[in-house]
Amino acid sequence: MTRITLIEGDITEQQVDAVVNAANSSLLGGGGVDGAIHRRGGPQILEECRRLRASHWGRGLPTGQAVATTAGRLPARWVVHTVGPVYLEEEYDVRAEQLASCYRESLRVAAELGARTVAFPAVSAGVFGWPLEDAARIALGTVAAEVPGVARELEEVRFVLFGVEAYGMFEQVWRAMASEGPGE
Ligand code: APR
Protein backbone atom coordinates (compact mmCIF):
# COMPACT_ATOMS: atom_id res chain seq x y z
CA MET A 1 0.00 0.00 0.00
CA THR A 2 1.35 3.46 -0.93
CA ARG A 3 2.22 5.60 2.09
CA ILE A 4 0.95 9.19 2.05
CA THR A 5 3.20 11.38 4.20
CA LEU A 6 3.27 15.07 5.11
CA ILE A 7 6.43 16.95 6.04
CA GLU A 8 7.42 20.57 6.52
CA GLY A 9 10.39 21.45 4.34
CA ASP A 10 11.87 22.44 0.99
CA ILE A 11 10.78 20.29 -1.93
CA THR A 12 14.16 20.79 -3.69
CA GLU A 13 15.88 18.87 -0.88
CA GLN A 14 13.73 15.76 -1.09
CA GLN A 15 15.46 12.44 -1.78
CA VAL A 16 12.65 11.09 -3.92
CA ASP A 17 12.42 9.77 -7.47
CA ALA A 18 10.09 12.50 -8.74
CA VAL A 19 9.56 16.07 -7.53
CA VAL A 20 6.41 17.82 -8.74
CA ASN A 21 6.86 21.44 -9.82
CA ALA A 22 4.07 24.03 -9.48
CA ALA A 23 4.84 25.47 -12.89
CA ASN A 24 3.05 27.81 -15.27
CA SER A 25 2.01 26.99 -18.81
CA SER A 26 5.13 28.56 -20.31
CA LEU A 27 7.32 25.96 -18.56
CA LEU A 28 10.01 28.62 -18.57
CA GLY A 29 10.28 29.14 -14.81
CA GLY A 30 8.94 31.59 -12.28
CA GLY A 31 9.01 32.19 -8.53
CA GLY A 32 8.00 29.95 -5.59
CA VAL A 33 8.50 26.23 -6.12
CA ASP A 34 9.22 26.82 -9.82
CA GLY A 35 11.99 29.28 -9.04
CA ALA A 36 13.48 27.05 -6.35
CA ILE A 37 13.51 23.97 -8.59
CA HIS A 38 15.14 25.76 -11.51
CA ARG A 39 17.61 27.55 -9.25
CA ARG A 40 18.73 24.42 -7.46
CA GLY A 41 18.20 22.01 -10.35
CA GLY A 42 20.25 24.06 -12.79
CA PRO A 43 19.99 24.86 -16.50
CA GLN A 44 19.42 21.27 -17.73
CA ILE A 45 15.81 21.48 -16.52
CA LEU A 46 15.10 24.66 -18.45
CA GLU A 47 16.84 23.25 -21.53
CA GLU A 48 14.49 20.27 -21.50
CA CYS A 49 11.50 22.53 -20.86
CA ARG A 50 12.48 24.61 -23.88
CA ARG A 51 12.68 21.44 -25.99
CA LEU A 52 9.21 20.44 -24.80
CA ARG A 53 7.89 23.85 -25.81
CA ALA A 54 9.60 23.58 -29.21
CA SER A 55 8.13 20.13 -29.84
CA HIS A 56 4.93 18.80 -28.27
CA TRP A 57 3.84 21.77 -26.17
CA GLY A 58 4.23 24.64 -28.59
CA ARG A 59 1.34 26.57 -27.05
CA GLY A 60 2.43 25.80 -23.49
CA LEU A 61 1.35 23.11 -21.05
CA PRO A 62 -2.39 23.36 -20.39
CA THR A 63 -3.69 23.78 -16.84
CA GLY A 64 -4.20 20.44 -15.12
CA GLN A 65 -1.68 18.57 -17.24
CA ALA A 66 1.77 17.23 -16.33
CA VAL A 67 5.04 16.58 -18.16
CA ALA A 68 8.40 15.26 -16.95
CA THR A 69 11.98 16.44 -17.39
CA THR A 70 15.31 15.60 -15.82
CA ALA A 71 15.81 16.86 -12.27
CA GLY A 72 19.29 18.21 -13.12
CA ARG A 73 21.28 18.77 -9.93
CA LEU A 74 18.35 18.03 -7.58
CA PRO A 75 18.63 14.84 -5.47
CA ALA A 76 15.57 13.55 -7.37
CA ARG A 77 15.63 11.77 -10.74
CA TRP A 78 12.79 13.62 -12.45
CA VAL A 79 10.80 16.82 -12.17
CA VAL A 80 7.13 16.46 -13.08
CA HIS A 81 5.93 19.92 -14.10
CA THR A 82 2.23 20.55 -13.62
CA VAL A 83 0.23 23.74 -14.14
CA GLY A 84 -2.26 24.53 -11.41
CA PRO A 85 -5.31 26.77 -11.91
CA VAL A 86 -5.37 30.33 -10.66
CA TYR A 87 -8.05 30.61 -7.95
CA LEU A 88 -11.24 32.30 -9.22
CA GLU A 89 -14.36 31.92 -7.08
CA GLU A 90 -16.76 32.41 -10.00
CA GLU A 91 -15.25 29.40 -11.75
CA TYR A 92 -14.65 27.29 -8.65
CA ASP A 93 -16.04 23.98 -9.94
CA VAL A 94 -14.12 23.91 -13.22
CA ARG A 95 -10.90 25.06 -11.61
CA ALA A 96 -11.17 22.71 -8.63
CA GLU A 97 -11.35 19.86 -11.15
CA GLN A 98 -8.25 21.24 -12.89
CA LEU A 99 -6.41 21.28 -9.57
CA ALA A 100 -7.42 17.67 -8.89
CA SER A 101 -6.19 16.83 -12.40
CA CYS A 102 -2.74 18.23 -11.53
CA TYR A 103 -2.39 15.55 -8.84
CA ARG A 104 -3.89 12.74 -10.92
CA GLU A 105 -1.81 13.53 -14.00
CA SER A 106 1.40 14.02 -12.00
CA LEU A 107 0.92 10.62 -10.33
CA ARG A 108 0.22 9.02 -13.72
CA VAL A 109 3.36 10.53 -15.30
CA ALA A 110 5.52 9.62 -12.30
CA ALA A 111 4.23 6.03 -12.25
CA GLU A 112 4.81 5.71 -16.01
CA LEU A 113 8.43 6.79 -15.49
CA GLY A 114 8.85 4.05 -12.90
CA ALA A 115 9.11 6.44 -9.95
CA ARG A 116 8.61 4.76 -6.56
CA THR A 117 8.51 7.95 -4.46
CA VAL A 118 6.90 11.27 -5.41
CA ALA A 119 6.99 14.66 -3.63
CA PHE A 120 4.24 17.26 -4.12
CA PRO A 121 4.10 20.93 -3.15
CA ALA A 122 0.77 22.58 -2.37
CA VAL A 123 -0.03 23.33 -6.00
CA SER A 124 -1.85 26.67 -6.63
CA ALA A 125 -1.72 27.60 -2.91
CA GLY A 126 0.90 30.31 -3.45
CA VAL A 127 1.05 32.83 -6.29
CA PHE A 128 -2.05 31.28 -7.85
CA GLY A 129 -4.01 32.20 -4.73
CA TRP A 130 -5.90 29.02 -3.89
CA PRO A 131 -7.11 29.12 -0.26
CA LEU A 132 -4.80 26.81 1.68
CA GLU A 133 -7.45 24.66 3.41
CA ASP A 134 -9.29 23.96 0.18
CA ALA A 135 -6.02 23.33 -1.67
CA ALA A 136 -5.16 20.77 1.01
CA ARG A 137 -8.59 19.14 0.81
CA ILE A 138 -8.36 18.76 -2.97
CA ALA A 139 -4.73 17.60 -2.87
CA LEU A 140 -5.17 14.99 -0.13
CA GLY A 141 -8.58 13.83 -1.34
CA THR A 142 -7.38 13.35 -4.92
CA VAL A 143 -4.18 11.53 -3.98
CA ALA A 144 -5.97 9.30 -1.46
CA ALA A 145 -8.50 8.37 -4.16
CA GLU A 146 -5.79 7.76 -6.79
CA VAL A 147 -3.45 5.67 -4.67
CA PRO A 148 -5.33 2.35 -5.06
CA GLY A 149 -4.87 2.80 -8.83
CA VAL A 150 -1.15 3.51 -8.81
CA ALA A 151 -0.35 1.67 -5.56
CA ARG A 152 1.51 -1.08 -7.40
CA GLU A 153 4.09 1.41 -8.59
CA LEU A 154 4.35 3.92 -5.78
CA GLU A 155 5.78 3.34 -2.30
CA GLU A 156 5.33 6.89 -1.04
CA VAL A 157 3.55 10.12 -1.96
CA ARG A 158 5.05 12.90 0.15
CA PHE A 159 3.48 16.34 0.57
CA VAL A 160 6.26 18.85 1.27
CA LEU A 161 4.77 21.92 2.93
CA PHE A 162 6.69 25.17 3.08
CA GLY A 163 6.40 26.66 6.56
CA VAL A 164 4.56 25.80 9.75
CA GLU A 165 1.21 27.26 8.65
CA ALA A 166 0.96 25.21 5.47
CA TYR A 167 2.14 22.06 7.25
CA GLY A 168 -0.33 22.61 10.09
CA MET A 169 -3.22 23.10 7.70
CA PHE A 170 -2.44 19.95 5.70
CA GLU A 171 -2.11 17.96 8.92
CA GLN A 172 -5.45 19.31 10.17
CA VAL A 173 -7.22 18.48 6.89
CA TRP A 174 -5.59 15.04 6.74
CA ARG A 175 -6.71 14.21 10.33
CA ALA A 176 -10.24 15.41 9.57
CA MET A 177 -10.39 13.17 6.48
CA ALA A 178 -9.09 10.18 8.45
CA SER A 179 -11.76 10.67 11.11
CA GLU A 180 -14.50 10.97 8.45
CA GLY A 181 -13.52 7.58 7.08
CA PRO A 182 -13.91 6.47 3.46
CA GLY A 183 -16.77 7.59 1.30
CA GLU A 184 -18.68 9.78 3.79
N1 APR B 1 9.34 23.83 -1.30
C2 APR B 1 8.04 23.49 -1.04
N3 APR B 1 7.01 24.35 -1.15
C4 APR B 1 7.30 25.61 -1.55
C5 APR B 1 8.61 26.03 -1.87
C6 APR B 1 9.65 25.08 -1.73
N7 APR B 1 10.94 25.39 -1.99
N8 APR B 1 8.55 27.35 -2.26
C9 APR B 1 7.25 27.72 -2.16
N10 APR B 1 6.50 26.68 -1.74
C11 APR B 1 5.06 26.62 -1.49
C12 APR B 1 4.33 27.93 -1.37
O13 APR B 1 4.48 28.45 -0.05
C14 APR B 1 2.91 27.48 -1.66
O15 APR B 1 2.33 26.92 -0.48
O16 APR B 1 4.46 25.97 -2.60
C17 APR B 1 3.08 26.36 -2.67
C18 APR B 1 2.77 26.76 -4.12
O19 APR B 1 3.21 28.10 -4.31
P20 APR B 1 3.82 28.61 -5.71
O21 APR B 1 5.19 28.08 -5.87
O22 APR B 1 3.61 30.09 -5.74
O23 APR B 1 2.94 27.89 -6.83
P24 APR B 1 1.47 28.25 -7.36
O25 APR B 1 0.62 28.88 -6.33
O26 APR B 1 1.01 26.97 -8.00
O27 APR B 1 1.75 29.35 -8.49
C28 APR B 1 2.41 28.95 -9.65
O29 APR B 1 3.97 30.71 -9.44
O30 APR B 1 6.21 30.45 -9.28
C31 APR B 1 5.21 30.74 -10.16
O32 APR B 1 5.99 29.96 -12.27
C33 APR B 1 5.07 29.70 -11.23
O34 APR B 1 3.51 31.00 -12.49
C35 APR B 1 3.63 29.89 -11.62
C36 APR B 1 2.96 30.19 -10.29
| pLDDT tens digits, one per residue of 98-155 | 999 999 999 999 999 999 999 999 999 999 999 999 999 999 999 999 988 886 789 9
Burial of 44 (0-12, 13-18, 19+ CB in 10 A): middle
Going from the Cα of 125 to the center of ligand 1, the distance in angstroms, rounded, reads 7
Angle among Cα 86, 183, 90 to the nearest 5 degrees reads: 25
H-state helical runs in the chain: 32-41, 43-54, 92-113, 132-150, 164-180
Nearest CA to ligand 1 atom 32: 30
pTM over 0.85: yes
* pLDDT tens digits, 43-76: 999 999 999 999 999 999 999 999 999 999 999 9
Is CATH 3.40.50.150 what the domain over 3-176 is classified as, yes or no? Answer: no
Compute the distance between CA of residue 107 and CA of residue 96 in angstroms, rounded to an integer: 17
Nearest CA to ligand 1 atom 3: 162
Q: Which atom of ligand 1 is least distant from the CA of 32?
A: 21
**DSSP designation for 38:** H
